[in-house]
Amino acid sequence: MLKSLCAAFLALGAACAAAAPVPSDETEIPYANSDGIVEWEAVSDDLLYVHALTGGWYRVRTLGRCDRLKTAYALGFETSPMGQLDRHSAIRAGGHRCPIVSVVRADGPPPKKRKA
């Protein structure tokens, strides 16, 4: 019984690792814990564009849907001990904790939606 339970956990772990590949252009946002984030704009329930104090724009993707990401007036950022926002960090939106799975550089702010 213990052997089959261990095998099931190993299979589950392998499936989770395969489901979330790390992008090759993965990076981090420095100084995110000390006013290092100038502005942000939620594009969807799992995608946020962040403008950092360093001048760069970043696309931050959460693990699945992050309730209240698009409607929150303020966001909290759980950074690493070094103050970086990276794929091991999380976003707090309206009382919900949303783990981050990807931080990549963006060419600029999110594209504006065209009116029909």
* pLDDT value at 47 more than 90: yes
pLDDT of amino acid 7 = 47
**Sheet-wide strand order for 75-78:** 37-42, 47-52, 57-62, 96-106, 90-93, 75-78
Q: Residue 17 CA to chain centroid, in angstroms?
A: 17
Burial degree of 25 (CB within 10 A; 0-12, 13-18, 19+): exposed
CA nearest to 97, candidates 79, 73, 80, 77: 77
pLDDT in tens, 66-98: 999 999 999 999 999 999 999 999 999 999 999
Distance CA(42)–CA(110), nearest Å, equals: 9
Which residue's structure tokens are 């959460």?
Answer: 62
pLDDT in tens, 10-28: 444 544 545 555 557 899 9
- Both tokens assigned to 1: 């019984």
* pLDDT value at 6 more than 50: no
Average pLDDT over residues 38-64: 95
Domain chopping of the chain, boundaries? 25-106
Question: pTM of the prediction?
Answer: 0.75
